[in-house]
Structure 1
């Protein structure tokens, strides 16, 4: 009874569908390995009851709000149940793209600049001229993205100011705060971190304008290159950036950081995922496999590192 593990997945965020797939993948592996494991969806189970089951550890496979924002971490801390991944504060900071960028910039790390944060209240007040003036300082094309949402949901590229306001409306469906930044042309890479070491970087090839939700989960034209094709010097440079970006946010155990290599051959940090997808199409397990870790090895290592 005391060795029982709980996998938390599903939840009520916009990334529920992906979380259900991640959780089921993890659950199946743990069941096959003979571990006493139960899968629980916080949508249908009062989380404070977890204490009654004497769970030894919780494997969090919840994506987005409620999973990666410190909420579930706070509940598990209160219940004194050890859990996988980053702590309450790191999770709360890293789900907030704007706040993450401020911290990275403060530590001299490369981020896309200029950028600004737009609140829904200001938008509803119809301060359109003020908003437009601020955004025009960034210069088109721009990328607009929900500040605290993942899986590239509600992310759009805007090429002209005529398309700005109706696109902002679409993005505000996903969050009350929108991050607006300069669109950078370049090559995207995603880098997994496991126990303060980087996994082999993955270069992402996509046919859409940028690496959006469709490209991530449904397109057959998206390609992943691992090894990434970066030369030794560039890979070392990337490793230094990633590990510093990871450590200044005090992240723990496992996660993934996305970057873009711009046309000047400079890396720019995009965002961080403290609970990456673990679906059959997910990138974190692909990188782990390249590092010699099977999906089973990966799950067991994350569990083992959880204290």
Structure 2
């Protein structure tokens, strides 16, 4: 395989996270070009299949956030074209994309995850919203996290600290998904742990500690100023290693490939809790993956080029 591969980056799409995807795609393309890689960037629209058919790149790197980008469907289409794709295969992508399923899989592998229930919007209405909310409060207690069962960038996610906040949280959640995941909120230090595999198996990058004034929502994630990051995190050395081990365990249990980011909470007792995993982590200027890579001493262009070459040589 040539040391100067041609890479097609996919960015954009029609999800709620389109802008983030475009920013991720632009940043990765710039970094790859700085490392001598030939890159083209493509939106996901009716021009994509003809463009890839004509171009025949050595590798396609989807940097798509949201449904079609992370549920495996775009990866399936690229494979139908006979082109290799960087990252997790379509089947494992579908498992990771579903928060309830991914939580169940990692729990079976011995990773702790907060207790949760899933509520389709239709069932929520059929049984009566008030009665279901009472059951949630009684069964899981407060505080609670309400989030879409699929999706990213904290869209539709709410922290509920009082019973009268639940109805609004459910409405916000159902704006982004027809199924809500309601889980017991864990209080502690929030970290994101990125995992890479450039040929020797999955390895955790330094965790990034997230400190924000208020919820770590969409605005806090992508608009500088609201959130402070610490990479490596301000954790004891043994806990720093432990969160990396948990992220790698989740990566392996879910059958992920090349790159992922796992979101975790470390509670006051030092217990590490799995929240969710992302197979297409953001690569913007405020995203956790680039911060972790730089904290580990990686040049982003060279690291991304290594991921490309490892994918082609697998």
Would you say same fold, with TM above 0.5?
yes
1:6 aligns with 2:8: yes
Task: Go from structure 1 to structure 2 and tell me whether the alpha carbon gap of 1:186 and 1:3 turns closer, same or farther (over 3 Å shift).
Answer: closer
Aligned to 1:120: 121
Shift of 1:94: 0.7
For the 8 Å contact 2:223–2:286, the answer to whether it is kept is: no
Q: How many residues align?
A: 305
Name which of structure 1's ranges 192-201 and 36-45 shifts more when overlaid on structure 2.
36-45
1:204 aligns with 2:205: no
Q: Distance in 2 between matches of 1:44 and 1:35?
A: 26
Q: Distance in 2 between matches of 1:219 and 1:52?
A: 39
The runs of 5 or more residues in structure 2 that have no matched partner are none
Aligned to 1:255: 260
Q: Distance in 1 between matches of 2:51 and 2:290?
A: 31
For the 8 Å contact 1:285–1:298, the answer to whether it is kept is: no
Shift of 1:226: 1.3
Aligned to 1:134: 135
> 1:266 aligned to 251, 261, 271, which one?
271
> 1:100 aligned to 99, 102, 115, which one?
102
Alignment of 1:5-84 (within 5 A): 5-47=7-49, 50-84=52-86
Name which of structure 1's ranges 244-253 and 156-165 shifts more when overlaid on structure 2.
156-165
Q: Per the alignment, in what secondary structure is the counterpart of residue 125 of structure 1? A: helix
Aligned to 1:278: 283
Q: Distance in 2 between matches of 1:139 and 1:116?
A: 12
CA RMSD of aligned residues (A): 1.9
Q: Distance in 1 between matches of 2:50 and 2:237?
A: 49
Shift of 1:46: 3.9
Aligned to 1:179: 181
For the 8 Å contact 2:262–2:277, the answer to whether it is kept is: yes
Q: Per the alignment, in what secondary structure is the counterpart of residue 67 of structure 1? A: helix
Q: Per the alignment, in what secondary structure is the counterpart of residue 301 of structure 2? A: helix
Shift of 1:81: 0.8
Alignment of 1:152-171 (within 5 A): 152-171=154-173
Q: Distance in 2 between matches of 1:219 and 1:139?
A: 34
Q: Distance in 1 between matches of 2:36 and 2:61?
A: 16
Shift of 1:288: 0.7
For the 8 Å contact 2:11–2:21, the answer to whether it is kept is: yes
For the 8 Å contact 2:224–2:286, the answer to whether it is kept is: no
Displacement over 6 Å in runs of 4+: none
Q: TM-score normalised to the size of structure 2?
A: 0.92
